[in-house]
Structure 1
Amino acid sequence: MQSIVTHPAVISPSFICNYKTTILKRIFLFVAVLLLTSTANYAQDTAQLVVEGRKNSATQQSKPYVIMISIDGFRYDYAEKYQAENLLKLSDEGVRAAAMQPSFPTLTFPNHYSMVTGMYPAHHGLVDNLFYDRQRKAVYKVGDRNAVEDGTWYTGMPLWVLAEKQQMLSASYFWVGSESAIQNIRPSYYFKYHEKTAIDQRIQQVVNWLSMPEDQRPHLITFYFPEVDHMGHRYGPDSDSVRNAVQFVDAAIGSMTEAVNKLNLPVNFIVVSDHGMTQADTVKTLSLPDVPVLKPLKVMAGNEKIMLYGNNETDIKAAYDYFKKHENHYTAYLKKGTPERWHYGEEDVYNRIGDIILLAAPGYAFRTSGKKMHPGHHGYDNNFTDMNAIFMAWGPDFKKHMRIPVFENVHVFPLVARILGLDITLPIDGKLEVLEPILNDQD
């Protein structure tokens, strides 16, 4: 059932009214370009969806709140590089990591789901943005809405499912998996993915959620920004377009924080990204040759990583031997020969990883179609520094003026569960002890 919740306005109609005129002009130009160039593949259903009949238990009504914000493609150094004044100021007053290491592969869907499940991709099943499931004999790809909304593709227990099972309401203004009935559960309030709604309206929706009666008010809110990733792909990480996108998101987060603070609730903000971005050669590109050893294999091709699926060991060995012999700006791996630190091929719980993996070297990418190759890329080895993401946090449950070293993104899940007082009910890869020291009640 669809419904739209409305409350008195709390924020100013212009969410960036305090920015200098020159910055305003650049941001508005960026928004105009984004609207013209958006490549979203999904149906544009913009209405809020509400699961009726749920309420916070009396115990959960006394818990704090977490707004978990993801800025897709926001590299670990962008805040300083592009003067993200609000993010720098707010995280200076709270916690900031030197970087957050994404899981392998350094792609959007696997990493967003790792952050909210506390599991590596090979363990939660989203092993790529594009992969083949041998048991289903079906392909999962991010542009296929039927697959994306099918909860049976997703395993583990995302934070909103954990919360709802323990009678704590959740809301999502986009996050990977939030549109799907995972274990037959969606967030109490959610949206199907689209890029049609203006940012001030999206911020107002967060305020509206937090203004609801206590028994209906979500304590976990996820929120997603696509703009930085879009511009990074299209124009490269060193472009003015990325600068404008960073400042656009920075202004929005500043506005959201200001509006939420007026509600006088114990709200904690956690700002993360899924991966970084790097520049790749758009002329000297890599390609799959038309060779006999490739014919019997199923090919799942991304720009930075290609997975090949074979039907027998003979075909797999022949193809691997060929690609290993002809390595040139890429590395060929057998599934069981991937680096242990990836927690990948040997740990493929759902048998979704290819028998052979071709991974491009940083600075290079596979041309998988006749379309123009964009300069910005991610998906490489997660040890490559440019793939590093961000972690920033502030609010009543976080220590102030704290800097922490690089850590893996699977540790975010137990941190959020700890703040919300939720019991983790299944095995995960993340460890609470990694981030617990940043909490106020820890010495």
Structure 2
Amino acid sequence: MARHTALCTATLIAFLSIPCLANRKLLVFLIDGFRYDYINEAELQNLPGMREIVQLGVKADYLTPEFPSLSFPNYYSLMTVLIRQGKADMAAVYYERNDVEGHHFGPWSKQRKEATKALDETLRNMNMKIKEVGLQNELNVMLFSDHGMTDIFWMEKVIELDKYIKMSDVLNMMDRGPIVSLWPQEGKLNELYSNLKKVKEMSVYKKDEIPDKYHYKGGKFVAPLTLLAQKGWFIAENIQKLPYWANGTDGKKGWQHGWHGYDNELMDMKGFFLAYGPDFRSNYKAPPMRVVDVYNIMCHVAGINPLPNNGTWSQVKLMLNNGVNLSCTAKASVTVLTVLLAWVFF
């Protein structure tokens, strides 16, 4: 593992050492399923790499994901816009092991903590390498997650839909877990809705009933019925259709112990945000922010004009150094490097 860590760190530094015309280089870490309190004061004592980053830069109280609190809705909106704009000298690293171990064993399991320590070792080595090659005044680094993770309780808290409705009345069912989308057969919407409303452990919404706070019901792919479970509950057709995993036994029989996708205002769904480099303040504690705010920071640090978005600049501008030039240079020469290293890092 140490050899892979050193190799990948060196590879990233080599990419970022290539001269360019942009103001500064940007390295982004997208850490899947990393809950905000994985780096609370107590946890940081055993994470020297992240502790150094906190001291060098900015740490937000937490990062609220967009609804639903799943990976693709949050990462897609951030990264695809930047790539389409094509105006940043940026490398992006995706790491999923925290999410995988959190699902399989739970958010506070030793396996998840080991995944975080492995990540921390890479960050500590990277910090040293940045100083060795003299990039500390040229490179900004941002680390953030798409969502958090909470405990789930198989078999105690499973909502089995086929106990309340006829599954033959459902034309299509998308997903299992905290949030499920249903497309009823013609003429069956109201019957399904009425029967599912009897389940006290979840909320059931017709499309026009979805609360405005989720900024969700206007989407063209939103189903006629959306089911949202209470924290810790899991929605499935039945227990046999739960997403078991291969845990070394014969076939997929392992229980899941953590999940996400619940109401994005639940604290267990909150992610984290760290940043350091010449454009960021040092040892600064930032107030809570939202995933949509990250895009504005990335654009300003990379020196490009942000497209219209729902972020709030006043929420995040205080984390930047007062002396930095925030003018956007959209004419800069561009290299966009998207490096998917989840499988190589560890």
Taking structure 1 as the reference length, what is the TM-score of the superposition? 0.62
How far off is 1:433 after superposition? 2.7
Give CA deviations for 1:227-275 in whole Å, capped at 9, x if unaligned: 1111100100121111111111111112122223333231011010111
Would you say 1:306 and 2:229 are equivalent positions? no
* Consecutive unaligned residues in structure 1, runs of 5 or more: 1-11, 17-55, 117-156, 169-218
- Residue 84 of structure 1: CA displacement? 2.3
Q: Does 1:396 align with 2:278?
A: yes
- Name the amino acid aligned to 1:387: M
Tell me how large the CA RMSD over aligned residues is: 2.3
Amino acid at match of 1:244: E
* Paired position in structure 2 for 1:330: 202
Structure 1 residues 393, 280: closer, same or farther in 2, change over 3 A? same
Structure 1 residue 436, shift from structure 2 partner: 1.6
> 2:32 maps to which residue?
72
Secondary structure, in 3 states, of the residue corresponding to 1:91?
A: helix
Indicate which of 310, 319, 323 corresponds to 1:429: 310
Structure 1 position 318 matched with structure 2 position 191: yes
Deviations 1:162-213 (A, max 9, x none): 1x2x4x4xxxxxxxxxxxxxxxxxxxxxxxxxxxxxxxxxxxxxxxxxxxxx
Say whether the 8 Å CA contact 2:141–2:276 is kept in structure 1.
yes
Aligned mates of 2:209, 2:102 — CA distance in 1: 32
Output the CA distance in 2 between the equivalents of 1:334 and 1:294: 19
Q: Equivalent residue for 2:269?
A: 387
Q: Determine helix, strand or coil for the equivalent of 2:161.
A: coil
Q: CA deviation at 1:294?
A: 5.4
Matching residue within 81, 90, 98 for 2:61: 98
State the number of aligned residues: 292
Using a 3 Å threshold, how does the CA distance of structure 1 residues 421 and 374 change in structure 2: closer, same or farther? same
Contact (CA 8 Å) 2:152, 2:233: kept in 1 or not? yes
* Mapping for residues 337-356 of structure 1, pairs under 5 Å: 337-345=209-217, 347-348=218-219, 351-356=220-225
Distance 1:113 1:410 in 2: 11
Report sequence identity in percent. 26
Structure 2 residues not aligned, in runs of 5+: 7-17, 245-253, 325-346
Residue 295 (structure 1) aligned with residue 169 (structure 2) = yes
- CA distance, structure 2, for counterparts of residue 354 and residue 433 of structure 1: 34
Q: Find the partner of 1:414 among 292, 296, 305.
A: 296
The CA deviation at 1:329 is: 1.5
1:442, 1:365 → 2: CA distance?
49
Q: Conserved in 2, the CA contact under 8 Å of 1:411 and 1:435?
A: yes
- Deviation digits for residues 127-155 of structure 1, max 9, x if unmatched? xxxxxxxxxxxxxxxxxxxxxxxxxxxxx
Change (3 A) 1:381 1:14: closer
1:226 corresponds in structure 2 to: 96
Q: 1:62 to 1:428 in 2, by over 3 A?
A: closer
Secondary structure of 1:158's aligned partner:
helix
Higher relative contact order (CA 8 A, sep 6+): 2
Letter in 1 for 2:51: L
Using the size of structure 2 for normalisation, the TM-score is 0.78
Partner AA of 2:207 in structure 1 = K
Are the structure 2 counterparts of residues 62 and 407 from structure 1 closer, same or farther at C-alpha, using a change threshold of 3 Å? closer
Structure 1 residue 75 displacement after superposition: 0.5
